[in-house]
Amino acid sequence: MDQTDPAPPRPTIADVARAAGVHASTVSRALDPAARHRISEAVATRVAEAAARLGYHPSALAAGLRSGKSRTVGVIVPDLTNPVFPPIVEAIERSLSAAGYVTLLANTAGDSEREALVVERLAAQGADGVILASAARGSTAVALCRSRHMPVVLVNRRLPPGEKGDVPSVVSDDAEGLRAAVAHLAGLGHHRIGHLGGPPGTATATDRLRGFRAGIKAAGLAEAIGPIVQAEAYSRAAGKTAMQEILRTGPCTAVATANDLLAMGAYDALEEAGLTVPGDISITGFNDMPLMDRVAPPLTTVRIQHAAMGQEAAALMLRQLAGLPPGPNLRLAAELVVRGSTAPPRLRAT
Judged by DSSP in three states, 170 sits in: strand
Exposure letters 222-249 (e unless 16+ CB within 10 A, then b) = eeebbbbbbbebbbbebbbbbbbebbee
Least distance between its own copies and beta carbon 330 (Å) = 23
Q: Does 83 bind its own copies (CB under 8 A)?
A: yes
Q: Return the residue of 86, 138, 323, 344 that touches its own copies, per CB under 8 A.
A: 86
Q: How far apart are CB 73 and its own copies at their closest, in Å?
A: 11
Least distance in Å: CB of 206 to its own copies? Answer: 26
Dist. CA 76–CA 109, nearest whole Å: 10
Closest CA relative to residue 256, chosen from 295, 220, 286, 223: 286
Q: What is the C-alpha to C-alpha distance for residues 262 and 272, in angstroms, rounded to an integer?
A: 15
- The answer to the question of residue 183 lying near its own copies (CB under 8 A) is no
Q: Is 337 in the site for its own copies (CB under 8 A)?
A: no
Q: Taking CB under 8 A as the rule, does residue 275 contact its own copies?
A: no
CA distance 94 to 100: 10
Residue 45 within binding range of its own copies, rule CB under 8 A: no
Position 4 contacts its own copies (CB under 8 A): yes
Exactly one of 43, 62, 105, 337 binds its own copies (CB under 8 A); that residue is 105
First to last CA, the chain: 75
113 scored as a contact of its own copies (CB under 8 A): yes
According to CB under 8 A, which residues from 12 to 41 bind its own copies?
23, 25-26, 28, 35, 38
Q: Is 110 left (phi over 0), alpha (psi -120 to 50) or beta?
A: left
Stretch that binds its own copies, among 85-93, 147-155, 171-179, 325-333 (CB under 8 A): 85-93
User: Residue 298 CB, nearest distance to its own copies (Å)?
Assistant: 8
DSSP assignment letter at 3: G
Q: Is 259 in the site for its own copies (CB under 8 A)?
A: no
Among 14, 40, 60, 125, the residue binding its own copies under the rule CB under 8 A is: 125
Q: Report DSSP letters for 39-51, one per residue.
A: S-HHHHHHHHHHH
Q: Of 77-85, 189-197, 201-209, 329-337, which segment contacts its own copies by CB under 8 A? A: 77-85
Min dist. Cβ of residue 23 to its own copies (A) = 5
In this structure, what DSSP letter does residue 56 have?
Answer: -
Stretch that binds its own copies, among 13-21, 87-95, 166-174, 212-220 (CB under 8 A): 87-95
In a 13 Å sphere around the CA of 257, the CA atoms on its Cβ side amount to 34
Task: Print the SS3 string covering 210-266.
Answer: HHHHHHHHHCCCHHHCCCEEECCCCCHHHHHHHHHHHHHHCCCCEEEECCHHHHHHH
**Footprint of its own copies (CB under 8 A):** 1, 3-4, 6, 23, 25-26, 28, 35, 38, 70-72, 74, 80-81, 83, 86-87, 89-90, 93-94, 97, 102-107, 109, 111, 113-114, 116-118, 120-122, 124-126, 236, 264, 267, 290-291, 294-298
